Amino acid sequence: MARDIKKVVLAYSGGLDTSIILKWLQTEYNAEVITFTADLGQGEELEPARKKAELLGIKPENIFIEDLREEFVRDYVFPMMRANALYEGLYLLGTSIARPLIAKKQIEIAKRMGADAVCHGATGKGNDQVRFELGYYALQPDIKVIAPWREWDLTSRTKLLEFAEQNQIPIAKDKRGEAPFSVDANLLHTSSEGKVLEDPWEEVPDYVFSRTVNPEDAPDAPTYITIDFEKGDAVAVDGQAMSPATLLAHLNELGRVNGIGRLDLVENRFVGMKSRGMYETPGGTILLQAHRGIEQITLDRGAAHLKDQLMPQYAELIYNGFWFSPEREMLQAAIDHSQANVSGTVRLKLYKGSVNVVGRKSPNSLYSSNIVTFEEDAGAYDQRDAAGFIKLNALRLRLLGQRGSL
């Protein structure tokens, strides 16, 4: 274990695990620790993290707590939503998209404070260790990275609690037993994994859900809302303009009461194993459907279909931690270019766990009722033109048929 690290920036939540890591860095590395706590809308009071850090000997000038909610939604969630990104066709990437911002801020603080290392609390089995560290190295190639879960011998809950007691780290009563499952949360989503969720055959217990009501208990009457878009980004709900974070929080509440956004998924982790997780993404689920709704009438077929082809690769890059890669930036440029005319209003129906687009309009609409109508179209479309179109497209099939095989 290297001992040449003098100052380290720790991604610090104030919880038991990162508090243990903080003390472990002090004792094992004899390093000056700087804590960084990001407010990404996880719904927790963050001042206790400051007090906990001070209790563990961190100087006030070495404690950083930043409200990143607006930056998170504006610069990370919204660009991802323009791509309609879903990992493996289902997952809205709530945890994945938060990691590059945390990594970016850690590196900024490390440069500002003259730190020679950064540290995260991700385990050696998960995706987050990859996401954090790819972000670190992309932004500061020579940074030293400490990953305690890959180094220490505190490999059981009992050992962690013993270390905490030996070092006078406060342990909440609910932390003394084995955690029933692990939780990660931010303004976009809440994810739960492990323990009671590890058997993919067993249904997720109701007590695991924290962000949404049971769809069966949602209101019996549907909720109708409108979302306004400008160049691919949502800017207003029901005609009321909102900042990105405020808008997502508002959609979260609408999704919560209507039981929208639950996902039970067995996914393929980047490190190679399959894992089962339960995700709640109420506002993001509504936003995705609304964005696809406005794209239906504003995007040309070729652009829309190409976007759908690029989306899985884009989503996989985010999931695997390559937010700061040139290929993600290239894809982002193409996606953003496609959004120039994606402006207008979408009307949605929220009802017992479902969200459906029921109306859309745009000054940039490519939809023409004059052309598509089943009634008299006043010469807007000559149906006889279709015969030549079909014959040209059938030519190769006819040649293959004459040969006797496809």
pLDDT of residue 178: 63
Digit-coded pLDDT (tens) for 123-161: 999 999 999 999 999 999 999 999 999 999 988 778 888
Query: Does 293 lie in the same domain as 168?
Result: no
Q: How far apart are CA 153 and CA 24, in angstroms?
A: 11
Query: Does 109 lie in the same domain as 216?
Result: no
Last residue of a domain, one of 178, 206, 221: 178
pLDDT of residue 1: 45
Q: How far apart are CA 182 and CA 184, in angstroms?
A: 7
315: in domain: no
219: in domain: yes
Query: Does 227 lie in the same domain as 143?
Result: no
* Residue 140, both tokens: 């500061």
What are the angstrom distances between the C-alpha of 172 and each of 16, 110, 151, 255?
8, 30, 25, 32
304: in domain: no
Query: Does 172 lie in the same domain as 130?
Result: yes
Query: Does 166 lie in the same domain as 265?
Result: no
pLDDT of residue 4: 85
Range of the domain at 396: 377-403
Query: Does 205 lie in the same domain as 102?
Result: no
63: in domain: yes
pLDDT of residue 173: 64
Please give the tally of structural domains in the chain: 3
pLDDT of residue 339: 98
Query: Does 148 lie in the same domain as 207?
Result: no
Query: Does 199 lie in the same domain as 229?
Result: yes
Last residue of a domain, one of 157, 178, 199: 178
Q: How far apart are CA 29 and CA 27, in angstroms?
A: 6
pLDDT < 50 positions in the chain: 1
366: in domain: no
371: in domain: no
Query: Does 27 lie in the same domain as 142?
Result: yes
pLDDT of residue 377: 67
349: in domain: yes
Question: What CATH number corresponds to the domain at position 347?
Answer: 3.90.1260.10
Last residue of a domain, one of 117, 143, 178: 178
Residue 224's CB: how many other CB atoms inside 10 A?
13
Query: Does 53 lie in the same domain as 24?
Result: yes
What are the angstrom distances between the C-alpha of 376 and each of 253, 366, 382?
46, 20, 11
* Residue 401, both tokens: 């048929």
Query: Does 197 lie in the same domain as 286?
Result: yes
Digit-coded pLDDT (tens) for 64-122: 999 999 999 999 999 999 999 999 999 999 999 999 999 999 999 999 999 999 999 99
Question: What CATH number corresponds to the domain at position 46?
Answer: 3.40.50.620
**Residue (of 235, 229, 247, 230) closest to 357 by Cα position:** 229
Query: Does 352 lie in the same domain as 219?
Result: yes
The strand pair at 182-185 and 190-193 is best described as antiparallel
208: in domain: yes
Active site residues: 17, 99, 128, 182
